[in-house]
Structure 1
Amino acid sequence: MEIGKTNHGLRGTVKIPGDKSISHRAVLFASLAKGVSQIDGFLEGEDCLSTIACMRQLGVEIDQNNDQVTVYGNGLDALQEPARVLDIGNSGTTIRLLMGVLAGRPFSSVLQGDDSIARRPMARVTGPLKMMNARIDGRQLGDLTPLHIRGGELRGIRYHSPVASAQVKSAILLAGLQAEGVTTVVEPHKSRDHTERMLKSFGISVRSDEHSASVQGGQMLHPVQIHVPGDISSAAFMLTAASIVKGSDCVLENVGLNPTRNGVIEVLEKMGADMTFLNERMAGDEPVADIRVRFAPLKAITIEGGLIPRLIDEIPAIAVLATQAEGTTIIKDAEELKVKETNRIDTVVNQLKELGAEVVATEDGMMIHGPVRLRGGEADSFGDHRIGMAMALCGLISDQPVSVNGTEAIAVSYPNFFEQLEELKMND
């Protein structure tokens, strides 16, 4: 896919697709509830469709009509042993949350994904689940897929996670609902809290604070109606595009602004972006707004510490922003980037360098000097949806177009990314 400059900027209004993290949880939690749950705004991305496919294999009836999903749950005890391997595709969220569910089920199951998943570490989840009495086997002592889970009677634990990870926390809490006693997860920084919010919507009592979340075993989920807000991680790429392309004036509709996810908004504000929040409201338990964003001169900042878990998925977009900001932007404390779909530190840095950026990789992040004129050229997603979108944005401001290989990976989280981008370009 080749992306080139616009004549007068990006203009118009687009509706951001449903939040990937919330879509996963909505389908999975509704499958564990006893009764019919309705979901609207579901993200029709490949990752979320993997969650639907896996829950169907576990015996759950699910109807999907575009972004409308109906789940006919029969409760945790009604889940059935799958007849074949559960294929989670490229979805790290699917496999890690499913591990928490399957750890307490009285049957065997095998989880496997694509080549990217086969390289991603699973011990951060299998380790604490084993402490709860789950029996899990896999390559490298259960750190790599395929994973074989033989469910059984679980006991609650108090687990101090070395990383702030919503996937780790969610898996342990889901296992905790099936365990004897109380299960608590303590984190170094608060990770995204969609699980805690949504479990409460399903009738689960969850105790949480800035560093921990706890559930009592034996609680039952009850069906609800869920409105999925737009994904701020997807919105980050459109926010970036409008902020760096001269003459831009865009409105992004229905953007989720969960305070554990809005780090990219804080970064944009500190860098001097021109944003206005319109029609602020609640979609269920999640804050939502429309965002008007216009081109503005940007300045470099340092991004570190507790801010990192709130924007870890948006760093590829932020790196592109930084190439157009005055000064040197420093991103640190972001080691977690190394265990995403790709090593996003090396991939972002190497790709941006090829396009003419002044950027240096560090052990836990990167340093980006700006503003620079990107020369354009050829880039690759390396099978990583967020890398693909970040490289596409570079084409909007490069002297020559950017040709991005592997753009099919973008369908994981933003199936209509290029259609919306072209729509905004045509309105210039």
Structure 2
Amino acid sequence: MDVKIYPSKLIGTLNAPSSKSYSHRMIIAAALAGGISEISNVTGSNDIKVTAGAMEALGADVLADGDVYTVRGIKAPAAKADIDCGESGSTLRFIIPVAAALGTNATFRGHGKLPERPYTPYVREFSKKGISFEPQSGLPMTISGRLTAGEYLLEGDVSSQFITGLMFALPLCEEDSVIKLTSPLQSKPYADMTIAALKNFGINIYETKLGGLPMYLIKGGQKYSPCRVSVEGDYSQAAFFFTANALGSEIRVKNLIPDSVQGDKAIVDIIEKSSTGDGLEPFTVDVGDIPDLVPILAVLGCFTKGTSRIVNAARLKIKESDRITAIADALNAIGGKVTAGDDFLEMQHVDKFTGGEVDPCNDHRIVMAAAIAATASDAPVIIRGAEAVNKSYPRFFEDFKALGGEFEVL
């Protein structure tokens, strides 16, 4: 689907979609609980659907009725499972350890750039426990063997998704375990979200420090308990509309928790500090903990007075796209002045975008960032492959239109 978006001012009230990060976590935890759980306020994006399908493949029953997911936990784990992770890195990295803890011989498949995304830390650590990976990189990949308790060493600067995967799985082991980090933890808020989500299901993870780095202590023999829970709104998606406000729109965003542990809540402070009443002040933002904000922060940075910088962004080169290069190319195609480096973006001031055509490289967040950029353009912006939003926010264009956004499907 290609869309042509016309410059417009967005006005109105928006209910933020549910947190995709929390939705993944709630569905997996519910599937590991004995009994029936009810998870409400779930935005049924493609990523969430493949996570639900993955847990069904392992033996759970998941019924989606609108935004309510009813999950009957796994009674007897599947001996073998074929798991399609779509394009979801979270699904792949969260469920590899879960399948191993259940003793399921599982084949994992993926699409888009997912087969290129690494799972090396699992191969290294799990092989010490007798678990085999065939092959040891790429997809499809089959694991066999059962995860056992013990010490797991993970790099903190690769992805917190590996930490989360072990947090799901290790409570199922008989003995106690520890996750030790060998380098500073980036995206720590995502690990915090996992701990918070698991508490709803009776699972406790204890964080301490070792050599100044987080260390996680996990008691074995814990039991997941079913529960009823509502998923909070997503600051990652709300960030697009907060930025639209900074560019002149007037949107009230509801369904957000002010004291949320979501790292992307940082968008609120970034915009407040940049908004002085006389234009937007330039900023330098370290995105080590908030990589999902990079596309929309790049849009915001184009309108600050002077030069703004996004730093510590190297991990974005292995997202749905090479997100550093892709967002620079997208904004430059419509009149931005963006320079991309190996681990940074630099944005020079522009008065307006000039319109043009954007290739988002099948990246949902670049599609949404380009749509917000189009509201502050002198001419229409054409976005190719706009259906990429289905990965995380399928009703994005519906909400965009309800707020007064003008576009046509080409």
Q: TM-score, normalised by structure 1?
A: 0.87
The secondary structure found in structure 2 opposite 1:183 is: strand
Structural mapping, 1:210-221, within 5 Å: 211-221=214-224
Structural mapping, 1:252-271, within 5 Å: 252-257=253-258, 258-261=260-263, 262-271=265-274
For structure 2, which runs of at least 5 residues remain unmatched after alignment?
none
The secondary structure found in structure 1 opposite 2:335 is: coil
In structure 1, what is the equivalent of residue 302 of structure 2? 323
In structure 1, what is the equivalent of residue 376 of structure 2? 397
> Which residue identity is paired with 2:60?
V
The 8 Å contact of residues 121 and 154 in structure 2, kept in 1 or not, is answered as no
For structure 1, which runs of at least 5 residues remain unmatched after alignment?
275-295
Sort the Cα spacing of 1:254 and 1:303 in 2 relative to 1 into closer, same or farther, 3 A: same
In structure 2, what is the equivalent of residue 283 of structure 1? none
The secondary structure found in structure 1 opposite 2:44 is: coil
In structure 1, what is the equivalent of residue 252 of structure 2? 251
For 1:145-176, what per-residue CA distance to the aligned partner results, in whole angstroms no more than 9, with x for missing partners?
21211131413114242416331111122232
The 8 Å contact of residues 123 and 143 in structure 1, kept in 2 or not, is answered as yes
For 1:55-109, what per-residue CA distance to the aligned partner results, in whole angstroms no more than 9, with x for missing partners?
112221111101101111145xx221345x2111111111110001012222311
The size of the alignment, in residue pairs, is 393
**Which among 81, 87, 93 is matched to residue 79 of structure 2?**
81
Structural mapping, 1:226-305, within 5 Å: 226-244=229-247, 246=248, 248-257=249-258, 258-261=260-263, 262-272=265-275, 297-304=279-286
> Which residue identity is paired with 2:29?
F
Q: CA RMSD, aligned part only?
A: 2.0
In structure 2, what is the equivalent of residue 100 of structure 1? 97
The 8 Å contact of residues 158 and 315 in structure 2, kept in 1 or not, is answered as no
The CA distance in 2 between the partners of 1:229 and 1:91, in whole Å, is 20
1:143 CA displacement: 2.8
| Greater relative contact order structure (CA < 8 Å, 6+ sep) | 2
Identity of aligned pairs, percent? 30
> Which residue identity is paired with 1:181?
D
Structural mapping, 1:13-412, within 5 Å: 13-74=13-74, 78-82=76-80, 85-138=82-135, 142-163=136-157, 165-179=159-173, 180-186=175-181, 188-189=184-185, 190-192=188-190, 193-209=192-208, 211-244=214-247, 246=248, 248-257=249-258, 258-261=260-263, 262-272=265-275, 297-304=279-286, 308-412=287-391
Q: Does 1:4 align with 2:6?
A: yes
1:270 CA displacement: 2.1
Sort the Cα spacing of 1:183 and 1:414 in 2 relative to 1 into closer, same or farther, 3 A: same
The CA distance in 1 between the partners of 2:281 and 2:315, in whole Å, is 25
The 8 Å contact of residues 105 and 151 in structure 1, kept in 2 or not, is answered as no
The CA distance in 2 between the partners of 1:18 and 1:394, in whole Å, is 23
> Which residue identity is paired with 2:280?
L
Q: TM-score, normalised by structure 2?
A: 0.91
> Which residue identity is paired with 1:250?
I
1:371 CA displacement: 3.4
1:201 CA displacement: 1.6
The secondary structure found in structure 2 opposite 1:177 is: helix
The secondary structure found in structure 2 opposite 1:251 is: strand
The secondary structure found in structure 2 opposite 1:331 is: strand
The 8 Å contact of residues 104 and 134 in structure 1, kept in 2 or not, is answered as no
In structure 2, what is the equivalent of residue 287 of structure 1? none
The secondary structure found in structure 2 opposite 1:173 is: helix
